[in-house]
């Protein structure tokens, strides 16, 4: 037994034992101990020794960390059982973890149970055992679902042959498109291109003073070599070449062109050409499929076909000059078929392979998908005049283009002229109010009619003018080529001038 056991073990145990004995028992134990000592023999000649206290080296007491218990810090005794005294929060954490584990097991078991149950029910349903399930538990799902109040075929159209899936779901059998219909449309585009591409051409223009060239499109008007295109394609060109998509080239002669209608007619020395079939754009409807064929961007892209629909009819498009002034307003067909630089002058076909328009422009900058074509009936009227006269003589507006008029004069109000140092001395005190003319462009219609500088225009088509704003307002009501009358105060006398308005630009 070690020193610690002596200190805390034996003494504690002996004290405990003695304390637990009855009083008489303790006295008997003391007597018995004395008797035994008396009876023990003593050896002869044995040396007599005295009890000397034994000197013991102090032993460093070792302390062991024991989890908190009722008795505080104590040396570790493996024979003792200490009371656990952990905090309530530690106990709650342990309980929470057990609770989450139980909840997770219950949830997983529930999900597994219902999954197995659902699978079993579906299996029994597939077996189609008579009378096992009421009819209203599994109602038949219709292939048609409501959309916007109408029935839409989701899987197969009733009018389509067996095994053909509807590509455009609708309750209208006339509008259903199945695989066979799709093949028919593809074939229609292919056949249309084969029919029409032989009548389409590229127009290449070169210039004597430049190595560059311009590129456009066109189509055959007649079998003896007349070709239609745009005016802006061939404008100022010194040499014009027409190239068919098979590579055949012809030198072309300009027969006539007009900048306002933006149309031109060429001619090549060829016979037996296949002219494009002309349609009637007056019967075209919005949404009708159309095809554009031309040469966009580069000659290597000749014969490019793009598809789209008619997006709008009778669109009024204002065309401006380099200064932003509106020079004309054109009434055109709008389409979303791709029209790019180089497509100008090319034909716009309907699905019958008939030309319904001449592609002429595309709105640039922030707009995309906006192409415009000149209606073919209006274009044919211009072509006939150009073939006969080479230009549009005595020009007046047509059904599809209205040009802005221009007087080609510089004016100011009479009141402003009176106060100016430069012109005030030329105005008499009895001169009327109106529009004071300070410049007239030679060769213009109003110049030929007799208007001179320092004249005062007092009336325009019978309307009295007070200043230059009144003149601008009345001019805006007219169009180029229209005949007008003005009243002029000239050197103390009034005179009337009649002429046709020039076109702007």
Gap between the Cα atoms of 205 and 216, Å rounded: 8
pLDDT of residue 368: 58
Q: What is the pLDDT of residue 167?
A: 44
Domain ranges (residues) in the chain: 1-85, 195-402, 405-503
Query: What pLDDT score was predicted for residue 59?
Result: 52
Residue 220's CB is within 10 A of a number of other CB atoms, namely 23
Helix or strand (DSSP H, E) at 145: strand 144-147
Taking the CA of residue 203 as centre, how many other CA atoms within 13 Å lie in the half-sphere pointing to its CB?
35
Tokens standing for 203? 């127009």
In this structure, what token pair is assigned to residue 135?
């009819």
Work out the burial of residue 361: count CB atoms within 10 Å of its CB; fewer than 13 is exposed, 13-18 middle, 19 or more buried: buried
Mark 228-264 as b/e (b = at least 16 C-beta within 10 Å): bbbbbbbeebeebbbbbbeeeebebebbbbbbbbbbb
Which residues are catalytically annotated?
232, 262, 344
Q: Which residues of the chain have pLDDT under 50?
A: 1-50, 52, 63-65, 82-85, 141-170, 179, 364-366
Fold of the domain spanning 195-402: Thrombin, subunit H (2.40.10)
pLDDT value of residue 154: 38
Q: Which CATH architecture has domain 405-503?
A: Roll (2.30)
**pLDDT tens string 387-400:** 988 887 755 556 67
Other CB atoms within a 10 A radius of the CB of residue 415 amount to 13
Instruction: Give pLDDT, residue 498.
Output: 94
Sign of the torsion angle spanned by Cα atoms 36, 41, 42, 43: negative
Separation CA 416–CA 378 (nearest Å): 46
Supply 211's token pair. 């190595």
Q: How many Å apart are CA 291 and CA 193, to the nearest integer?
A: 9
Cβ-Cβ contacts under 8 Å for 257 (sequence gap 6 or more):
231, 234, 235, 263, 264, 265, 386, 391
- ∠ CA 466-470-474 to the nearest 5 degrees? 135
Residue 26: is it exposed, middle or buried by C-beta count within 10 angstroms (0-12/13-18/19+)?
A: exposed
* Res 156: pLDDT: 42
Specify the residue for token string 């320092």.
Answer: 454
CB 266 within 8 A of CB 188: no
Predicted pLDDT at 180: 55
Q: Is the pTM of this model over 0.75?
A: no
Check: CB of residue 460 under 8 Å from CB of residue 488. Answer: no
Here the tokens at position 453 are 């500088």
Tokens describing residue 366: 């922030």
């Amino acid at each position: 037994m070690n020193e610690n056991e002596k200190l805390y073990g034996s003494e504690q145990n002996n004290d405990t034992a003695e304390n637990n004995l009855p009083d008489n028992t303790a006295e008997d134990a003391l007597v018995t101990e004395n008797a035994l000592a008396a009876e023990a023999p003593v050896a002869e000649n044995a040396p007599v020794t005295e009890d000397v206290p034994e000197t013991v080296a102090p032993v460093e007491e070792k302390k062991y960390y024991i989890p908190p218990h009722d008795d505080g810090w104590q040396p570790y005794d493996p024979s003792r059982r200490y009371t656990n005294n952990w905090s309530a929060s530690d106990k709650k954490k342990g309980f929470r973890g057990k609770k989450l584990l139980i909840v997770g097991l219950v949830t997983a078991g529930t999900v597994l149970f219902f999954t197995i149950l659902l699978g079993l029910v579906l299996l029994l349903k597939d077996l189609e055992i008579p009378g096992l399930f009421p009819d209203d538990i599994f109602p038949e799902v219709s292939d048609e679902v409501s959309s916007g109040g109408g029935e839409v075929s989701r899987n197969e159209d009733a009018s389509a042959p067996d095994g053909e899936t509807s590509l455009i779901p609708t309750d209208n059998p006339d509008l259903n498109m199945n695989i066979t219909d799709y093949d028919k449309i593809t074939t229609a585009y292919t056949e249309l291109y084969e029919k029409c591409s032989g009548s389409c051409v590229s127009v290449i223009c070169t210039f004597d003073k430049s190595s560059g060239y311009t590129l456009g499109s066109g189509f055959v008007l007649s079998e003896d070599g007349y070709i239609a295109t745009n005016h802006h394609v061939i404008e100022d060109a010194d040499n014009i070449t027409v190239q068919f998509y098979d590579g055949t080239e012809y030198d072309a002669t300009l027969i006539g062109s007009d900048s306002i209608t933006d149309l031109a007619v060429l001619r090549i020395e060829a016979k037996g050409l296949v002219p494009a079939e002309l349609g009637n754009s007056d019967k075209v409807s919005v949404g009708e499929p159309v095809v554009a064929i031309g040469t966009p961007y580069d000659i290597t892209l000749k014969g490019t076909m793009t598809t789209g629909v008619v997006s709008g009819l009778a669109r009024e498009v204002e065309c401006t000059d380099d200064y932003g002034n509106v020079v004309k307003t054109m009434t055109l067909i709008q389409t979303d078929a791709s029209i790019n630089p180089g497509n100008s002058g090319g034909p716009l076909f309907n699905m019958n392979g008939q030309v319904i328009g001449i592609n002429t422009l595309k709105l640039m900058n922030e707009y995309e998908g906006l192409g415009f074509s000149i209606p073919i009936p209006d274009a044919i009227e211009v072509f006939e005049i150009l073939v006969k006269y080479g230009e549009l003589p005595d020009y007046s507006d047509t059904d599809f283009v209205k040009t802005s008029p221009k007087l080609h004069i510089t004016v100011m109000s009479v009141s402003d002229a009176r106060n100016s140092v430069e012109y005030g001395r030329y105005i008499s005190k009895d001169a009327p109010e109106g529009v004071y003319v300070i410049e007239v462009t030679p060769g213009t219609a109003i110049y030929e009619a007799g208007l001179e500088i320092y004249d005062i225009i007092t009336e325009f088509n019978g309307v009295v003018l007070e200043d230059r704003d009144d003149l601008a307002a009345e001019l805006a009501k007219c169009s180029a080529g229209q005949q007008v009358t003005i009243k002029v105060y000239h050197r103390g006398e009034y005179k009337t001038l009649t002429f046709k308005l020039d076109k702007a630009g």
